[in-house]
Amino acid sequence: MLQVQNLDAWYDRSHVVQGLTFEVKAGEIVTLMGRNGAGKTSTLRAIMGLMAQRAGSVRFDGQELLKQAAHVRYHRGLAYVPEDRRIVPGLTVRENLRLGLIAGSDGRHEHERIAEIAQTFPRLAERMEQDGTSMSGGEQQMLAIARALMARPRMILLDEPSEGIMPLLVHEMFQLFVRLKQQGTTILLVEQNVERALQISDRAVILDQGRIVHQGDAQDLLADRAIQDKYCAV
């Protein structure tokens, strides 16, 4: 589904993503691993078209996206949930969800999509008329994910979804990712909880200083403490 070839990206003069080549097949969960500063977030941003300086190839369903704007990629079925969530202050949960359809192309089915989201996220169903920023961090993270799902993306990029969230909600969130995969949504995940991420993933790609240093089967990496300690320990 997603083919990344020789991807490079820069922040000003800093070459933060260097020649990355990997793929994510339809229906997979693939985790990007590495220490802080390894280039994981920059990789997601480059794939989504949010890095001004980038080179290489990003193909989604066989179509080249590298020179396409982020909103075009969203219309093609590629969604992104950033680490900072970006819940809009002053808007209710329902209104924040509607933004996912405003950016998408399926606004005619707003009520249907919100009803589906309410079934998937019972906590949000109870808070539809509440200010989105008044909820807990975990609930705001669920809202950010739900908003990205409003336009029924075929693939979603998730950046550190469990950061700062209580363990109970983290458990619910990882269960959600498994259900999304079962429903056909492909996931590229950046996650600080390496063990939990590998448990639900098919494969993993390890970055170090902007380069891929290892990639392979997630269960093999889950059992390989030496690689985890070398490249993923905080």
pLDDT tens for the chain, 234 residues: list them. Answer: 999 999 999 998 899 999 999 999 999 999 999 988 899 999 999 999 998 888 999 999 999 998 888 888 988 999 999 988 889 999 999 999 988 886 555 556 788 888 888 888 888 999 999 999 999 888 999 999 999 998 889 999 999 998 888 888 888 889 999 999 999 999 999 998 889 999 999 999 999 999 999 999 999 988 888 887 877 765
- pTM tops 0.85: yes
Q: Clarify whether residues 44 and 64 are in a common domain.
A: yes
- Domain extent, residue 100, equals 86-152
121: closest CA among 100, 142, 94? Answer: 142
Domain boundary among 132, 152, 172: 152
Q: How many domains does the chain have?
A: 2
In terms of domains, do 213 and 184 share one?
yes
Which backbone phi and psi does 219 adopt, to 5 degrees? -70, -35
The last residue of one of the domains, among 152, 173, 199, is: 152
Domain with residue 3: its CATH number is 3.40.50.300
29 and 202 Cβ atoms separated by less than 8 Å: yes
159 and 217 belong to one structural domain: yes
Distances (CA, A) of 55 to 6, 65, 215: 8, 11, 22
Domain boundary among 152, 178, 197: 152
